[in-house]
Amino acid sequence: MFSALPMKHINIKVLTDDLPSASVILAGLNSFSPDNRPYEESALPSIPGQDFRELYNQAKTRFDKIASLVDFTPAPFDGDVTPISEEQLAASNQWLGKAWETGSDFEERQRNLIESYRNIDQLKATLANFSNLTIDLGQLQQEQPFLDTLIGMVPTLRLSQLKDALSLDGYLLFPFLQGEKESHVVIVGAKQPGPSRLKSMLDTAGFRSQDIPPELHSSPETAKARLDERRTATERSEKELNEAIQKWRGEVLSDLERVARTLHLATPYMALGEAARQSGELSRLQGWVPARDLPRVTLALKEKLLDPFVLESRDPLPEERALVPSVMRHNRLLKPFSQLVMQYGVPRYGEVNPTHLFALTYILMFGMMFGDVGHGAVILGVSIWMRRKLGGFTPFGIAAGISSMLFGILYGSIFGFEHLFHPLWIAPLSDPLYMLGVALMWGIGFIFLASLLNIFNHLMQGDRLGALFGDNGLLSLSLYSGLLGTGYSLYANGSVGGLWATLAILSLVGIFAHKLIEQEAPIGERLLVAFIETFETITGYASNTLSFLRVAAFSLNHVALAIAVFTLAGMMGQTGHWITVVLGNVFILVLEGLIVAIQVLRLEFYEGFSRFYAGDGKAFKPLTL
Amino acid sequence: MSAQRNHAYLKTRVSIYASRLVSPDDVERLKQMSLRQLGETYDLLPIFEQEITTRQKSGLVEQALIQQLMDELLVLLRPLSGHARGLLLYWPRKYELYNLKTLIRGKLHHLPMQEIRHNLYALPENIRLPHESLLQAENVLEMLRLLEQGPYSLIARQARLVFEEHHENFSLGAAIDRLYYTGMLARANMTDSKDTRGLKKAIGSMIDRQNILWMMRYRLVYHFAPSEAYYLLIPYGGQIQRNNLLELANLESLETIIDHLPEPFQSLLMGVAHITEVRQRLDRWVAHELHKLMRNSQDAVVSALCYLMIRDMDIWRLYAIFQSKLLEMDASLLHEAVPGTDDHSAVSHEEVA
């Protein structure tokens, strides 16, 4: 419950022909994660299914392209789970190849239509531009005895270099319409004897000649009307093309469904990757399975695999801990909290899974910082009302709302009204120092717990030295206790308690000595680093403890904001009063609620998780169907 | 404080790496070595012990050498952030653009996917661009459509022209090279460098080399018209600017081009008889300039960039030596491709590839 599920490393020896079946059976169980580390490379020299994988990748790419073109989403998989042979996959790939030939042709036609639209727009822009020029457009297109004249488009970025280049051949370039990417230009120059260099030059420059259509030779109104006709014709072509694509979609739909199913069933074998190795007729497959699922895996293979197989399992080796995937199964209520924990990191195998602790402390701190029966009820109500939209996060909202309501009862606060009912515990603003003291005690308890978890984690990983001397280890904790005891003694009795002070000093010396020994540097550098790191340990504990004062600060802030709202409301008339109260509450609810939610997360991650949670584990990614 | 620490780290790293650069004497020594000795020296022996074809071995050597370069790049990137990091990260983009060139040409010439893939540089993930979709394109038109949608739309236009006109006119390669150097200069301008002059000098010297060489090739070997030759060049070099290029493009012999080059190129290239020699002398000059900048620049980023450029030259010299041993080439041929102490120029990737 408080750590990832115990895992087993398994290896399954099967006949190579049975490997696709084995992969599909394992995928159906959702309990097997392939282990891709190289193993027994000399005994099992090859990796099976390389051709299968190549085929799969090509087929999947083709399928995705077709699906995107015809807007096809495969129906959820439902049917017999049967392995896919290489021949079946090849046949599907071949069909997809042929289908994509048609699809690619459709795509090219779509592109040409876009190009047509662009041309029409450009011609319209040209027309608008030419209307200011006193040029006979027809003249520009005609063959001239002594002049080369061209109209077209070139990349804008290269315009000045093209102008320079053309000047070398005695041509002039006039841009008359400059766009971001392309510019419309007129090129004029004396006709040159012999083969024209211009064509080759312009090809190199990516010049696209723009034929001035006859319609532009006429009056601007007629020209515009003709361009509109061309646009209508292009739109008609687009409609026809879309209809053709839809018709084709209808023709290939059943085949696409079939191929989607084939690809779906081929995925597990493809996903085995290098977890399977082969020597002739025999193959071996290795991976991780949750220990409690092992009997189910064995039974499924026994029932469904036709030929004999050998399944061996063992516990993870100590040196494998970093590689073992962590499986965490939480109920619906804890899922949203688990997702927030995952934002920090996946627990390392064997490490304490902090989800339960996180859920409990998060909800408690949220309530303490945002205690108000009314606001809590709104959060609760909104969470239930929007449960479909919130999905898995609904329990998070409900829990936060209930906690806020409970603390509201303890604080005697409802929608910022502090005197409507008597607080079960205390009205925060009635004794701020008491509230700060409570927050401090909460913080000390939280840090203590985090440090104890850190020691436990180190012990679980077999790192006794880390548990004793490491950051947030036993020695650090005793230093923290010593400092707290000394501080309290000073506060309560006016003198440093001898026992606490001795504990603090001894711990400090121990930490310093350890840091001095673990460094690998000249003695001067060692002393400096050890001093700074030891000092950091003290300041870290102090600042993290004080950080928890915000728990009380926000509870006070909540009341202070409510007072501000009521003061403003008091300046208004009857209607204004209630409008201000309502709007003020909405403001408190949204803004302060959000800030508190973030601040609690910060306390959890920064003051808590950073002390004990490495979060560098591997997520369990099983073969799935 | 942090900036000073980063500067010191980078400078120290560059100094350590620079001590491992291949000197002309090293080149001579390496040329005398057997393939086995070379493999031992550069930890590449396992490649030669595999039972694979010579072509595969050559590919693996190339990959391993580039990987060494990329590993060093990643170390140099550690203390950098912002535009300086962007500049250094942009530098290896040239390999990605070579890949793009290979990919487009491969598709235009209908080469099988495996063949194209084999000729692509294997680059680290954080530098590699997602070319897989281009590779998976099943025909030229599909690839062009994909190119048109991405950041290479200008290149797609040149590629479509090549495809539709059925002839390749260097515009594609030139467009890709230009794209690279323009991007490099844009990043250099954005970088808040303490040695802007040095930074621009480093990039400018590479552009000058490229411009002089290709100007000579376009005009004297391929006999392009001045306008076309000029258009294919990059008009913002270090010491050869737009006006020089316009003037040079109109010239018609190696001697007159050299006579009209600004200093130091005129003196540097005086008396050369063919373009190969021009390349060798230019490479030597570039290497010299980069070495000077690497040692003397006040800005550690400039030193790091220069180091990477020199190291890149080294990698290709080493690769040429490995390849000559793999193919059992004649020593004189190797000497021609990779001159040693008497003429310590560097072979560039374009000659090796």
Tokens 């467009």 identify what position? B175
Give the pLDDT band of residue A283 (cuts 50, 70, 90): very high
Question: Which of A388, A387, A385, A367 is CA-nearest to residue A376?
Answer: A367
Residue A212 confidence (pLDDT): 66
Cβ neighbours for A477, distance < 8 A, ≥ 6 positions apart: A448, A451, A452, A455
Longest dimension (CA), chain A: 113
Tell whether the torsion through CA atoms of A587, A592, A595 and A600 is positive or negative.
Answer: negative
A613: left (phi over 0), alpha (psi -120 to 50) or beta: beta
Residue A22 confidence (pLDDT): 93
In DSSP terms, A209 is beta-bridged to A152
Q: Which tokens in the block code for residue B83?
A: 């535009």
In DSSP terms, A147 is beta-bridged to A190
Distance, CA of B96 to CA of A164 (rounded, Å):
30
Distance, CA of B127 to CA of B185 (rounded, Å):
19
Q: Hey, is the C-beta of B230 within 8 angstroms of any chain A C-beta?
A: yes
Task: Note whether B230 contacts A164, CB cutoff 8 Å.
Answer: yes
Task: Note whether B231 contacts A165, CB cutoff 8 Å.
Answer: yes
| 8 Å CB contact between A422 and A411 | no
- Answer whether 0.90 is exceeded by the pTM: no
Task: Note whether A108 contacts B171, CB cutoff 8 Å.
Answer: no
Q: Which tokens in the block code for residue A296?
A: 């189910």
Q: Hey, is the C-beta of B148 within 8 angstroms of any chain A C-beta?
A: yes
Task: Note whether A201 contacts B154, CB cutoff 8 Å.
Answer: no
Q: What is the CA radius of gyration of chain A?
A: 37
| 8 Å CB contact between A399 and A363 | yes
A190 vs B230, residue with greater confidence? B230
Please tell me the distance in Å from A119's CA to the nearest CA on chain B.
15
How many beta carbons lie within 10 A of that of residue B34, not counting itself?
A: 9
Task: Note whether A108 contacts B235, CB cutoff 8 Å.
Answer: no
Distance, CA of B76 to CA of A573 (rounded, Å):
68
Question: Is pLDDT at A205 greater than 50 in this prediction?
Answer: yes
Q: Hey, is the C-beta of B218 within 8 angstroms of any chain A C-beta?
A: no
Task: Note whether B228 contacts A204, CB cutoff 8 Å.
Answer: yes
Task: List the pLDDT tens digit at each of the 353 positions of chain B.
Answer: 467 778 888 888 898 888 888 888 888 888 888 888 888 888 888 888 777 788 878 888 888 888 888 888 888 988 888 888 888 888 888 888 888 888 888 888 888 888 888 888 877 666 666 677 788 888 888 888 888 887 777 777 777 777 776 556 577 777 788 878 888 888 888 888 888 888 989 999 999 998 999 899 888 888 888 888 898 888 888 888 888 888 888 888 888 999 898 888 888 888 888 888 888 889 889 999 999 999 988 889 999 999 999 999 888 888 888 888 888 877 777 777 776 654 444 445 554 44
In DSSP terms, A152 is beta-bridged to A185, A209
Kindly state the average pLDDT of the residues A262-267: 93
Secondary structure string (H, E, C) spanning chain B: CHHHHHHHHHHHHHHHHHCCCCCHHHHHHHHHCCHHHHHHHCCCHHHHHCCCCHHHHHHHHHHHHHHHHHHHHHHHHCCCCHHHHHHHHHCCHHHHHHHHHHHHHHHHCCCCHHHHHHCCCCCCCCCCCCCHHHHHCCCHHHHHHHHHHCCCHHHHHHHHHHHHHCCCCCHHHHHHHHHHHHHHHHHHHHCCCCCHHHHHHHHHHHHHHHHHHHHHHHHHHCCCCHHHHHHCCCCECCCCEHHHHHHHHCCCCHHHHHHHCCCCHHHHHCCCCCHHHHHHHHHHHHHHHHHHHHHHCCCHHHHHHHHHHHHHHHHHHHHHHHHHHHCCCCHHHHHHHCCCHHHCCCCCHHHHC
Q: What is the layout of strands, in order, in the sheet containing A147-155?
A: A171-178, A182-190, A147-155, A208-209
In DSSP terms, A282 is beta-bridged to A15, A279
Distance, CA of A2 to CA of B350 (rounded, Å):
60
Q: Hey, is the C-beta of B139 within 8 angstroms of any chain A C-beta?
A: yes
Distance, CA of B273 to CA of A306 (rounded, Å):
77
Query: Is the confidence metric ipTM above 0.90 for this complex?
Result: no
Q: Is A496 exposed, middle or buried (0-12, 13-18, 19+ CB in 10 A)?
A: middle
Please tell me the distance in Å from B63's CA to the nearest CA on chain A.
21
Task: Note whether A168 contacts B154, CB cutoff 8 Å.
Answer: no
What are the DSSP calls for A292-357, one per residue? GGHHHHHHHHHHH-SS--EEEEEPPPGGGGGGSEE-----TTTHHHHHHHHHH-BPPTTSB-THHH
Over the stretch A456-500, which tens digit does the pLDDT of each residue have? 989 988 889 889 998 889 999 999 999 999 999 998 888 887 889
Q: Hey, is the C-beta of B211 within 8 angstroms of any chain A C-beta?
A: no
What does DSSP assign to residue A281? Answer: T
Give the pLDDT band of residue A137 (cuts 50, 70, 90): low
Residue B352 confidence (pLDDT): 45
Kindly state the average pLDDT of the residues A565-580: 90
Over the stretch A385-440, which tens digit does the pLDDT of each residue have? 999 999 889 999 999 999 999 999 999 999 989 888 999 999 998 999 999 999 99
Task: Note whether A165 contacts B227, CB cutoff 8 Å.
Answer: yes
Distance, CA of A286 to CA of A278 (rounded, Å):
12
Q: Which tokens in the block code for residue A298?
A: 């064995």
Tokens 């699922």 identify what position? A293
Task: Note whether B231 contacts A108, CB cutoff 8 Å.
Answer: no
Residue A196 confidence (pLDDT): 67
Cβ neighbours for A465, distance < 8 A, ≥ 6 positions apart: none
A460 vs A214, residue with greater confidence? A460
Of all residues in chain A, what percent carry a pLDDT higher than 70? 95
Please tell me the distance in Å from B23's CA to the nearest CA on chain A.
34
Q: Hey, is the C-beta of B141 within 8 angstroms of any chain A C-beta?
A: yes
Task: Note whether B231 contacts A107, CB cutoff 8 Å.
Answer: no
Distance, CA of B183 to CA of B315 (rounded, Å):
23
What does DSSP assign to residue A470? Answer: S
| 8 Å CB contact between A346 and A618 | yes
Enumerate residues 14 to 73 of chain B having a beta carbon within 8 A of any beta carbon in chain A: none
Over the stretch A168-182, which tens digit does the pLDDT of each residue have? 888 888 887 777 777
| 8 Å CB contact between A600 and A369 | yes
Q: Which tokens in the block code for residue B265?
A: 């190129």
- Chain A residues with CB within 8 Å of chain B CB: 58, 61-62, 97, 100-101, 104, 107-108, 111, 155, 157-158, 161-162, 164-169, 181, 197, 200-201, 203-206
In DSSP terms, A310 is beta-bridged to A13
Q: Which chain A residues contact residue B174 at CB under 8 A?
A: 204
Question: Is pLDDT at A63 greater than 80 in this prediction?
Answer: yes
Q: Which tokens in the block code for residue A576?
A: 């204004």
| 8 Å CB contact between B318 and B22 | yes
Distance, CA of A406 to CA of A299 (rounded, Å):
49
Q: Which chain A residues contact residue B165 at CB under 8 A?
A: 203
| 8 Å CB contact between A26 and A275 | no
Task: Note whether B231 contacts A200, CB cutoff 8 Å.
Answer: no
Distance, CA of B321 to CA of B27 (rounded, Å):
9
In DSSP terms, A411 is beta-bridged to none
Cβ neighbours for A223, distance < 8 A, ≥ 6 positions apart: A127, A215, A216, A217
Q: Hey, is the C-beta of B154 within 8 angstroms of any chain A C-beta?
A: yes
Tell whether the torsion through CA atoms of B254, B259, B260 and B265 is positive or negative.
Answer: positive
Residue B124's φ and ψ, nearest 5 degrees, are -60, 155
Task: Note whether A100 contacts B246, CB cutoff 8 Å.
Answer: no
Measure CB to CB from residue A111 to each of B145, B169, B226 and give the nearest one: B145
Question: Which of A84, A2, A482 is CA-nearest to residue A262?
Answer: A84
Q: A193: helix, coil or strand? A: coil
Over the stretch A350-383, which tens digit does the pLDDT of each residue have? 888 899 999 999 999 999 999 999 999 999 999 9
Q: Which tokens in the block code for residue A171?
A: 């041509």
Amino acid at A144: Q
Please tell me the distance in Å from B272's CA to the nearest CA on chain A.
27
Task: Note whether B246 contacts A203, CB cutoff 8 Å.
Answer: no
Measure CB to CB from residue B227 to each of A62, A107, A166 and give the nearest one: A166
| 8 Å CB contact between A35 and A314 | no
Q: Which chain A residues contact residue B170 at CB under 8 A?
A: 204
Measure CB to CB from residue B246 to each of A58, A164, A181 and give the nearest one: A164
Question: Is pLDDT at A522 greater than 90 in this prediction?
Answer: no
Q: A434: helix, coil or strand? A: helix
Q: How many CB pairs under 8 A join A and B?
A: 77
Task: Note whether A61 contacts B227, CB cutoff 8 Å.
Answer: no
Most B CBs within 10 Å, among A57, A109, A112, A168, to test the B interface: A168
Distance, CA of B220 to CA of B216 (rounded, Å):
5
What does DSSP assign to residue A145? Answer: S
Q: Which tokens in the block code for residue A537?
A: 């340990």
Please tell me the distance in Å from B148's CA to the nearest CA on chain A.
10
Most A CBs within 10 Å, among B140, B148, B222, B231, to test the A interface: B231
Tokens 């509450």 identify what position? A585
Of all residues in chain A, what percent carry a pLDDT higher than 90? 54
Q: A122: helix, coil or strand? A: helix
